């Protein structure tokens, strides 16, 4: 091992930025036990690299980035002579190893443990990402076309290879609806591993694109008039024996009673959750009706306008549909921290299970087309139409607000105030450009 070989301990923060500290890879075994230093004020970093001035933190305080024993190192692959790097996503801990209330990864661990303790169920998840490739020759706006794929095939193949090298379970990559837009999916995994993969997929894709002279942007929308980039979170409840506890083909929408209650809990708190799952100013240029991006608190069966839907299954002979049934949450984008998104979805779903909330009726068509009386009957409400409205909805929901511990809560609101101030007054196109350069 050369002295040039480096390892890096990482955390993905409230702005969904992956940050960390590197050291000689030869020190990895020792560093796994002791970690590397970190600073509380880093939690209040905006996506634009400025620490929020009114955050809960001052110049004092120290923390450690420490990987847990179950997390394996991943290799971030280099190309054309560029070096590989060894990376580990870490928990942010106090200097004596205790949990720290600002760690999103720990928050997810606690949420999943609570789900298991109260219901006996585990959660399996996968994050489906959309992104735009820019910086090279224009890719013709031919949705899903072979020619778009062939034009980008060297990048696509390299991304699949880099994901495999990093152990991220690559599944599929395809040209999407928008010009230069692609979708990448990975295999499902346990909740913590799924969120870790979501973090790394974004950074691996950006890294591979850069090595091709391109840029991969996961920003929610790059042009107010164009197609947006979503992050769809696929979820399954799993019994202790490994059976799919989400499915019951005899019930409405083919989901089990417990899954129906989980859905009801998510939809009840969804306006507040939007402050976490769609957390940028430009998220609300995308999160509008008729974009297949979810504009309402609607549940659907194979309905792409629903915020939470039951996904299609393969109905061919020899395929067990009951094993395939799962939920898809569609009101998220890549400005959101994956661990925080999944933690709050689990908390909301568990709240629905605790309260035995009735399963919502599935909306058959576009929720925007519902008559007011029918929308009221179905409990379908318009989602917040701006980040300030979403943050206000979170403040107004004491249950959801209680899922954010301190100092995470104070840091999040401070960071969002600072972020909004930095793009306030810009035209929507300029806001998109600002976020697009970062994400």
256 within a domain of the structure (yes/no)? yes
Read off the pLDDT of each residue in 177-200 and give the average, rounded to a whole number: 95
The answer to whether residues 363 and 273 belong to one domain is yes
Instruction: Give 382's DSSP letter.
Output: B
358 pLDDT above the threshold of 60? yes
Is the full-model pTM beyond 0.85?
A: yes
In this structure, what CATH number is given to the domain that contains residue 47?
3.10.20.70
Domain region containing 11:
6-97
The answer to whether residues 255 and 128 belong to one domain is yes
pLDDT at 138: 63
301 within a domain of the structure (yes/no)? yes
The answer to whether residues 78 and 198 belong to one domain is no
The answer to whether residues 242 and 322 belong to one domain is yes
Phi–psi pair at 293, nearest 5 degrees: -120, 0
The answer to whether residues 92 and 134 belong to one domain is no
Higher pLDDT, 55 or 121: 121
Tokens at residue 406, please? 């301190």
257 within a domain of the structure (yes/no)? yes
**DSSP secondary structure string, 299-319?**
EEES-TTSSEEEPP---STT-
405 within a domain of the structure (yes/no)? no
The answer to whether residues 45 and 120 belong to one domain is no
The answer to whether residues 39 and 111 belong to one domain is no
The answer to whether residues 54 and 124 belong to one domain is no
111 pLDDT above the threshold of 80? yes
The answer to whether residues 186 and 69 belong to one domain is no
185 pLDDT above the threshold of 90? yes
Read off the pLDDT of each residue in 183-203 and give the average, rounded to a whole number: 97
The answer to whether residues 78 and 183 belong to one domain is no
Residue range 260-288, pLDDT digits in tens: 999 999 999 999 999 999 999 999 999 98
How many separate domains does the chain show? 2
The answer to whether residues 311 and 377 belong to one domain is yes
Q: Which of 24-33, 57-66, 143-152 has the lowest mean pLDDT?
A: 143-152
- Which parts of 71-173 fold into alpha helices (H)? 104-119, 146-165
421 within a domain of the structure (yes/no)? no
Q: Is the peptide bond before 108 cis (omega within 30 degrees of 0)?
A: no
419 within a domain of the structure (yes/no)? no
- Closest by Cα among 360, 188, 168 to 263: 360
Q: Which of 119-123, 132-136, 400-404 has the lowest mean pLDDT?
A: 132-136
Nearest 10 degrees: CA dihedral of 138, 144, 150, 151?
Answer: 10
In this structure, what CATH number is given to the domain that contains residue 379?
3.30.590.10
Q: What's the whole-number average pLDDT of the chain? A: 94
- In degrees, rounded to 5, the angle at the alpha carbon of residue 278 between the alpha carbons of residues 16 and 399 is 100
Beta bridge partners of 106: none
Residue range 131-152, pLDDT digits in tens: 999 887 666 567 788 888 888 8
pLDDT category, 58, cuts 50, 70, 90?
confident
- Closest by Cα among 380, 92, 112, 399 to 238: 112
102 within a domain of the structure (yes/no)? no
Higher pLDDT, 115 or 180: 115
Higher pLDDT, 46 or 3: 46
431 within a domain of the structure (yes/no)? no
Q: Which of 100-114, 126-140, 190-204, 231-245 has the lowest mean pLDDT?
A: 126-140
Higher pLDDT, 303 or 358: 358
4 pLDDT above the threshold of 90? no
The residue out of 74, 97, 120 marking a domain boundary is 97
Read off the pLDDT of each residue in 358-382 and give the average, rounded to a whole number: 93
pLDDT category, 3, cuts 50, 70, 90?
low
Q: What percent of the chain has pLDDT over 70?
A: 98
Instruction: Give 136's DSSP letter.
Output: S
CA 28 to chain centroid, in Å, comes to 28
Q: How far apart are CA 360 and CA 81, in angstroms?
A: 55
- Please state whether beta strands 6-12 and 18-24 pair in parallel, antiparallel, or not at all (unpaired): antiparallel
- Please state whether beta strands 6-12 and 85-89 pair in parallel, antiparallel, or not at all (unpaired): parallel
């Amino acid at each position: 091992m050369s002295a040039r070989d480096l390892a890096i301990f990482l955390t993905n923060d409230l702005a969904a930025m992956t940050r960390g500290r590197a050291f000689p890879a030869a020190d990895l075994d020792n560093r796994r036990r002791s970690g590397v230093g970190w600073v509380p004020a880093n939690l209040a970093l905006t996506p634009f690299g400025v620490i929020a001035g009114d955050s809960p933190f001052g110049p004092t305080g120290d923390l450690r980035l420490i990987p847990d024993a179950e997390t394996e190192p991943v290799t971030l692959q280099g190309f054309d002579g560029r070096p590989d790097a060894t990376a580990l996503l870490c928990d942010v801990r106090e200097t004596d190893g205790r949990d720290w209330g600002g760690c999103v990864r720990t928050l997810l661990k606690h949420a999943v443990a609570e789900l298991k303790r109260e219901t006996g169920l585990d959660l399996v998840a996968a994050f489906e990402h959309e992104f735009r490739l820019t910086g090279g020759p224009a890719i013709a706006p031919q949705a899903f076309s072979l020619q778009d794929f062939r034009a980008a095939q060297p990048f696509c193949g390299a991304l699949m290879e880099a994901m495999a090298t990093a152990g991220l379970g690559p599944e599929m990559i395809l040209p999407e609806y928008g010009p230069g837009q692609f979708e990448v999916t990975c295999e499902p995994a346990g909740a913590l591993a799924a969120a870790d993969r979501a973090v790394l997929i974004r950074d691996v894709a950006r890294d591979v694109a850069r090595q091709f002279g391109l840029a991969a942007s996961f920003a929610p929308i790059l042009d107010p008039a164009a197609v947006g980039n979503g992050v769809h979170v696929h979820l399954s409840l799993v019994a202790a024996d490994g059976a799919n506890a989400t499915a019951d083909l005899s019930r409405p929408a083919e989901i089990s009673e417990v899954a129906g209650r989980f859905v009801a809990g998510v939809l009840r708190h969804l306006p507040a959750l939007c402050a976490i799952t769609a957390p940028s100013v430009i998220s609300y240029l995308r999160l509008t009706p008729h974009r297949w991006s979810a504009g309402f608190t609607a549940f659907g069966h194979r309905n792409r306008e629903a915020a939470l839907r039951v996904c299609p299954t393969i109905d061919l002979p020899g395929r067990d549909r009951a094993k395939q049934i799962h939920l898809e949450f569609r009101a998220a984008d890549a400005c959101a921290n994956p661990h925080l998104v999944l933690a709050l979805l689990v908390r909301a779903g568990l709240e629905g299970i605790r309260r035995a909330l009735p399963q919502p009726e599935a909306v058959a068509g576009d929720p925007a087309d519902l008559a007011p009386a029918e929308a009221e009957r179905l409990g379908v409400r318009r989602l917040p139409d701006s980040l300030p409205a979403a943050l206000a909805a979170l403040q107004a929901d004491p249950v959801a607000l209680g899922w954010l511990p301190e100092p995470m809560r104070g840091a999040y609101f401070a960071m969002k105030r600072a972020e909004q101030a930095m793009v306030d007054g810009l035209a929507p196109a300029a806001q998109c450009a600002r976020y697009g350069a970062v994400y």
